[in-house]
Amino acid sequence: VTLLEQNPRWRLVPRGQAVNLRCILKNSQYPWMSWYQQDLQKQLQWLFTLRSPGDKEVKSLPGADYLATRVTDTELRLQVANMSQGRTLYCTCSAEQGANQDTQYFGPGTRLLVL
Amino acid sequence: GQQVQQSPSSLVLQEGENAELQCNFSSTATQLQWFYQSPGGSLVSLLSNPSGTKHTGRLTSTTVTKERRSSLHISSSQTTDSGTYLCAPSTGGNNKLTFGQGTVLSVIP
């Protein structure tokens, strides 16, 4: 049974345009949801963990700005903006039962290609 | 912050051979997971093993917490095992996994 759904699986992003990604949780027993990102040929990097509806966080990293929102108990969103031209970025969400020491499960991810 | 080193960076095996992957990390970890990353990027959780030895199928993980290292043993490798294997410890109090660069495994017939 799939725990996390992410759509679309890939997107072409015109330079200068922001993109909004959604992560849908199919089992509310895994409420600790996180976003991770990965540049091509580099390590996966944790971005945010948001537990409760209404939680929001922002982060600026080299090559992109991120805004994460926990919309509901079952939906997590990520807005990615100001991406560098030519960049290939993979964004994936995860879910975990507790705050730590549990197994994290990941969604299929979305691959972004900036034109 | 947590630093993770995986070795070897790549490994080529004949089908049927065993693989031994290593993971060393710089800070005490309260959780450690091994993942398989498909060529498309999706992560599959293989084992959660913060300490001791765990088995599932052809996989065995041994984590020595005090020495901040973990290993993943794949027995009787198959061509479908080809891909990237990632080690990810986390430190107590948060959900943040820190990933290594991975070991790229290629199993040839």
A104 to B99: CB separation less than 8 angstroms, yes or no = no
- Per-residue CA distances from B2 to A3, A32, A110, B90, B93 (Å): 28, 21, 26, 8, 14
Q: Is B86 in the A-facing interface, judged by CB distances under 8 Å?
A: yes
Q: How confident is the model at residue A41 (pLDDT cuts 50, 70, 90)?
A: confident
B98 to A46: CB separation less than 8 angstroms, yes or no = yes
The whole-number pLDDT of residue A100 equals 65
| Mutation for testing the B interface, residue in A41, A52, A106 having most B CBs under 10 Å | A106
Smallest Cβ–Cβ distance between A46 and the set B41, B50, B96 belongs to: B96
Kindly report, residue by residue over A95-106, the tens digit of the pLDDT: 999 866 678 999
Q: How confident is the model at residue A54 (pLDDT cuts 50, 70, 90)?
A: very high
B33 to A105: CB separation less than 8 angstroms, yes or no = no
> Does the pLDDT value for residue A36 go beyond 80?
yes
Comparing alpha-carbon positions, the chain B residue that sits nearest to A50 is B95
CB contacts of A38 in chain B (<8 Å) are 41
- Per-residue CA distances from B13 to A112, B18, B37, B88 (Å): 32, 8, 18, 24
- What is the residue-level pLDDT of chain B in tens, covering all 109 positions? 889 999 999 999 999 999 999 999 999 888 899 999 988 888 999 999 999 999 999 999 999 999 999 999 999 999 999 999 999 998 766 788 999 999 999 999 9
* String of DSSP letters for B59-100: EEEEEEGGGTEEEEEE-S--GGG-EEEEEEEE-TTS--B---
The whole-number pLDDT of residue B93 equals 66
Which two three-digit tokens encode residue A84?
Answer: 């560098």
The whole-number pLDDT of residue A17 equals 93
B99 to A100: CB separation less than 8 angstroms, yes or no = no
Reduced 3-state DSSP string for chain A: CCCEEEECCEEEECCCCCEEEEEEECCCCCCEEEEEEEECCCCCEEEEEECCCCCEEEEEECCEEEEEEECCCCEEEEEEECCCCCCEEEEEEEEECCCCCCCCEECCCEEEEEC
The whole-number pLDDT of residue A47 equals 96
Report, as an integer, the average pLDDT of A77-99: 92
Provide the shortest C-alpha distance from residue A91 to chain B (in Å). Answer: 9
The whole-number pLDDT of residue A86 equals 87
Report, as an integer, the average pLDDT of A16-40: 94
| Mutation for testing the B interface, residue in A40, A41, A100 having most B CBs under 10 Å | A100
Which two three-digit tokens encode residue A34?
Answer: 């996180």
B99 to A32: CB separation less than 8 angstroms, yes or no = no
